[in-house]
Structure 1
Amino acid sequence: MHTPPSSSTVKEARVSFGRRLREIRKDSGLTARALAVLAGWHESKCSRIENGSRAPSYDDIRSYAEHCGVPHLANDLIDTARGIDGMYVEWRQLERSGLRRVQESVLPIWERTLRYRIYSSWLVPGPVQTAAYIRAVLTSIRDRRRLVDDVEDAVRVRVAKQRIVHEGNHRFSIILEESALRYRIGGVETMAGQLGHLLAVAKLPSVSLGIIPLTADRSGLWPVEGFFLFDDVQANVELVSAHLTIVQRHEIGLYAETFAALSEQAEYGAGARALITKAIEALG
């Protein structure tokens, strides 16, 4: 079973990074106490960094590299630390400048990604949302988190981003739980339009759409948190309180394995269209 991520993932990354620093120190022949003396630290600081209980500053990392005789590794180590710092970002921090900025912030990775793998159990995902559905989702987020009102600007940015579904060599593999077709986001009219749009985009050569039926046997793998996989370099997960960016290779591998397992439970083609049509009919 895949374990839902949280800020504990950041802790694990810090422990892994501390282990790397410890190996660098040991390879240099220095004890933790000797390195602390050279760097002008309290003698316990080195051990706290190496066991992951204290995040090193960039100056601390430079001291490790310099005193351990590997100054050429400093920039690479700092890049790794910077990636860890950006893994877990609370929504209130990410959205403090408004929803439009959040939409714009992901443009670089959207542009450079060629293979998207997207799983959702509760929402139709951004690349295949209609403008009305986007507006309903973002309005709810604005109201729930008491954000500045730039919903219309954010809707325009997200709709513009969808050009990558139709242009270039981008490929989208999307797995939805049937429940995502049933939740009435924005009301009956908005959902009818959204479901009709899903039927249309499922015919695009760039899109593979699978739907896992509510009646599927989930004994082996039940619904998990929604996630985006960008090629094999990054996974993004939306939590209630925060946005999680995963760059650790073994964790990305776990999401890729989970996506493959979920894919085996999904209906495609005529089966997927039938499930979407049933959801439209259920709207009355």
Structure 2
Amino acid sequence: MSDLQASESARRSLGIQLKELRLNAGLSGVELARRCGWHKTKVSKIEHGTQSPAEADIRKWATTCGAEGLVPELIAAGREIEHMWTDYRRRHRRGMKGLQFQAMDLYARSKLIRVYESLFIPGFLQTVEYTKAQFTIHAGLHGLPLGDVEEAARNRMARKRFLGTGAPIFAFLLEASALANNIGGVDVMGGQLDYLDEVSRLPYVSVGIIPQGRMRSLYPGEGFYLFDEDLLKQEFWSGAFQTSRPENIAYFVRVFAALRDQAVFGAAARDEIEAARDRLRGT
């Protein structure tokens, strides 16, 4: 999936909804544009998802089509699309240090946080050394100051206070490849695997590992975070995606369940951690 695919899909979906309103009203695109006082190409661009309608556009469109009652729903959908994608250039204006505290309220009010990662250890489960190594890579990729790495890594550790408390409950699913990718070197990875073993024994924390070589009923994919059944977050190389749309949430709940069915837990998961440690020692 490309970074922007989900937000582009949502924009096209809104365009289809608006097109249906126009067709139900018996209006051509040219006639709708004329009544709204727009250039004739604007309607086509909105319907095909190449232009995002402003709230005033949505209100005028629905009213012209005799669907005033749908205005709040359509505006809400339009607002969410605008917040679905955050480019890292915009996100990093506050620096890596401040970003680590941004979601603390979200963590505090969530009852269940489900996390899937295929490439690296999730932030909640990271040691400070692993985080520093990850942030050093991130800073190089995005042209951020290396001087912020140390403090940003320490700030990330603040989220660990939620682990093992039951507020929220955590369910982690990791591909075995996330344990194998060497972030920071042998010593850093050794400490990280030790900590992962330790956290897997905490109450209210479930850590599942999907073993390498296991026959798949669902292929690996991009990592994601589910907060209850209210919010989905995903991060990519160039930015971050989030949505609260019920159909998207329901989809990822099903994905998480399918991935969980392929994972091992408890002693079997700790065996996978030990196997990753053995591979690391062999490098």
User: What TM bracket, shorter-length normalisation?
Assistant: 0.7 to 0.9
Cα displacement string for residues 118-142 of structure 1 (whole angstroms, at most 9, x for unaligned residues): 1112111011111111111112211
Once the two structures are overlaid, the 10-residue window that deviates more, 99-108 or 6-15, is 99-108
Once the two structures are overlaid, the 10-residue window that deviates more, 208-217 or 69-78, is 69-78
Aligned-residue offset at 1:206: 1.3
Counterpart of 1:163 (choices 158, 161, 164) is: 161
Report SS of the residue matched to 1:214. Answer: coil
User: What residue in structure 2 maps to residue 83 of structure 1?
Assistant: 80
Q: Does 1:47 align with 2:47?
A: no
Taking the aligned partners of 1:202 and 1:72, their CA distance within structure 2 comes to 50
Q: Does 1:127 align with 2:124?
A: yes
Report SS of the residue matched to 2:93. Answer: coil
Aligned-residue offset at 1:71: 5.0
Cα displacement string for residues 136-185 of structure 1 (whole angstroms, at most 9, x for unaligned residues): 11122112221133223322321112212233531111111112112221
CA contact (8 A) 1:95 1:101 kept: no
Aligned-residue offset at 1:73: 4.6
Q: Does 1:9 align with 2:10?
A: no
User: What residue in structure 1 maps to residue 96 of structure 2?
Assistant: 99
Cα displacement string for residues 74-100 of structure 1 (whole angstroms, at most 9, x for unaligned residues): 444333212112222222222233112
Report SS of the residue matched to 1:98. Answer: helix
**How many residue pairs align between the two structures?**
280
Report SS of the residue matched to 1:44. Answer: helix
- Where does structure 1 lack aligned partners over 5 or more consecutive residues? none
Once the two structures are overlaid, the 10-residue window that deviates more, 182-191 or 192-201, is 182-191
Taking the aligned partners of 1:105 and 1:35, their CA distance within structure 2 comes to 43
Q: Letter of the aligned partner of 1:171 in structure 2?
A: I
Q: Does 1:266 align with 2:263?
A: yes
Taking the aligned partners of 2:44 and 2:278, their CA distance within structure 1 comes to 62
Taking the aligned partners of 1:212 and 1:135, their CA distance within structure 2 comes to 26
Counterparts of residues 1-284 of structure 1 (less than 5 Å): 4-26=1-23, 31-69=28-66, 71=68, 73-148=70-145, 149-218=147-216, 220-284=217-281
CA contact (8 A) 2:3 2:238 kept: no
Q: Letter of the aligned partner of 1:141 in structure 2?
A: H
Cα displacement string for residues 194-246 of structure 1 (whole angstroms, at most 9, x for unaligned residues): 1111111111121111111113123x333211111222222222222222223
Once the two structures are overlaid, the 10-residue window that deviates more, 196-205 or 272-281, is 272-281
CA RMSD of aligned residues (A): 2.3
Taking the aligned partners of 1:119 and 1:277, their CA distance within structure 2 comes to 20
- Where does structure 2 lack aligned partners over 5 or more consecutive residues? none
Taking the aligned partners of 1:207 and 1:5, their CA distance within structure 2 comes to 31
* TM-score normalised by the chain length of structure 2: 0.88
Taking the aligned partners of 1:266 and 1:229, their CA distance within structure 2 comes to 18
CA contact (8 A) 2:107 2:168 kept: no
